[in-house]
Amino acid sequence: MNLKILLLPGDGIGTEVTAAAVEVLKAVGKKFGHTLDLSEGLLGGVAIHKTGTPFPKETEELCQKADATLMGAVGLPEFDAAPPSQRPEAGLLGMRRVLDVFANLRPVRTWPALVDSSPLKNHVVEGTDMIIVRELTGGLYYGQPRGIDNDRAFNTMSYTRKEVERVTHTAFKLAGNRRKKVTSVDKSNVLEVSQFWRKVVIEVAKQYPNIQLEHMLVDNAAMQMVLNPRQFDVMLTENTFGDILSDVGGILAGSIGMLPSASLGEKKGLYEPVHGSAPDIAGQNKANPLGAIGSVAAMLEYTFGLMKEANAVNNAIGKVLESGRVTADLRPKGKPATTQEVGKAVSEAL
């Protein structure tokens, strides 16, 4: 198979973890006989520096031509005081909208080798295996009107029936291939939009009689994730809540550097590690590339339907974790490995 993939390394450690992920991707191609058609574009702060905009037209065109996009990270401290539309993150939001990738899948798994890496007690995190399904193109991050002046600022949280229905279908179909449970997270005791969300989820759930549905308020969900994460199978959330809760998942996995993600639409897929650009360690070859490499596995599975290849990548990640050849964030017993060394180790384990 010919895999047509756009690479958007972005800012900070994005370039380093993407390079490691591409090395693994090339190893997959060699092992399983696939050809890679790789292109590269600009996104985020690096795009602002070179083109004046976080999501250049050329990058938009490259996204549309590729079967899948693999992204590193966006964000630089120098833009922290800039208006939202002029920050690197605006490029990511713009790309999600253009590709219409409405469902963000964030697997949260506690690997046996990393039980000691979590700050939570071992018996709490052991056996955690959940997926957060976050609605990605609606809600507070995209709602209009929005604005800011000297004395007031405002954003709009808004959802249409179609937006809620399509991401709910994604969550229930995923649950059908897992442990057949969906936990829908909202704030329906306070927000009208959450009351609507819950109503639509209940209606869609009737089409999946073999899937258990439960509802949980977002504040309780955050608490339950650190009290008893094994209770969750598929967690369904709107955009803002999913953004926050998936970072809690980093505690369960041992490091946020472990978390991959897949953003899926009707036709396109966008894949990226959950972590940010981490400018404090950028350029030092210290970043954990396993979230980016896990995102490659997700891309092989969801966009290209290559389950054997995806499983091979995940198994290779497991072997590297067992070997202890990992970066400093995972608290290795010996000398920490570099970003490059971990990427090479996964490629060799394939």
- Model pLDDT for residues 257-272, shown as the tens digit of each residue: 999 999 999 889 999 9
Provide the 3-class DSSP secondary structure of residue 222.
helix
Residues serving a catalytic function are 141, 187, 219, 243, 247
pLDDT of residue 124: 94
Return the number of other C-beta atoms located less than 10 Å from residue 112's C-beta.
10
Q: Which amino acid is at 300?
A: L
Q: For residue 342, name the pLDDT band (cuts at 50, 70, 90).
A: very high
> Which residue type occupies 202?
I
Q: State residue 265's pLDDT score.
A: 93
CATH number at residue 218: 3.40.718.10
Whether 302 and 323 map to the same domain: the answer is yes
What pLDDT was estimated at residue 85? 86
Largest CA distance in the chain: 61
Question: Are 302 and 92 in contact, with CB atoms under 8 Å apart?
Answer: no
Per-residue confidence (pLDDT) for residue 84, from 0 to 100: 87
pLDDT at site 333: 87
- What was the pLDDT predicted at 239? 96
Expressed as residue numbers, the domain containing 158 is 119-253
- C-alpha 146/C-alpha 166 separation (Å) is 25
pLDDT reading at 230 higher than 90: yes
Do residues 340 and 346 touch, judged by C-beta distance below 8 A? no
Domain boundary among 208, 238, 253: 253
Confidence of residue 180 (pLDDT cuts 50, 70, 90): very high
- What token pair was written down for 55? 């999501």
Considering only CA atoms, which of 101, 22, 56, 72 is closest in space to residue 270?
A: 101
140, 238: one domain:
yes
92 domain-assigned: yes
Quote the CA–CA distance of 332 and 350 in Å, as a whole number.
22
Shared domain check, 142 and 218: yes
Q: Which of 188, 220, 253 is the C-terminal boundary of a domain?
A: 253
Q: What is the pTM of this model?
A: 0.90
What is the spatial distance between Cα 14 and Cα 278, in angstroms, rounded to a whole number? 9
Cβ neighbours for 348, distance < 8 A, ≥ 6 positions apart: none
Is residue 11 domain-shared with residue 29, that is, in the same domain? yes
pLDDT at 188 over 90: yes
User: Tens digits of per-residue pLDDT, 304-339?
Assistant: 999 999 999 999 999 999 999 999 999 898 899 999
Instruction: Return the minimum-mean-pLDDT range out of 55-59, 74-78, 110-114, 233-237.
Output: 110-114
Final residue before a domain boundary, out of 253, 286, 301: 253
Given this model, what pLDDT does residue 137 score?
Answer: 92
Is-contact 299 70, C-beta < 8 A?
Answer: yes
Residue 117 has pLDDT above 90, yes or no: no
* Cis, peptide link before residue 83, omega less than 30° from 0: no
Q: Which amino acid is at 73?
A: A
The residue type found at 213 is L
Sequence-separated (6 or more) residues with CB below 8 Å from residue 338: 285, 286, 327
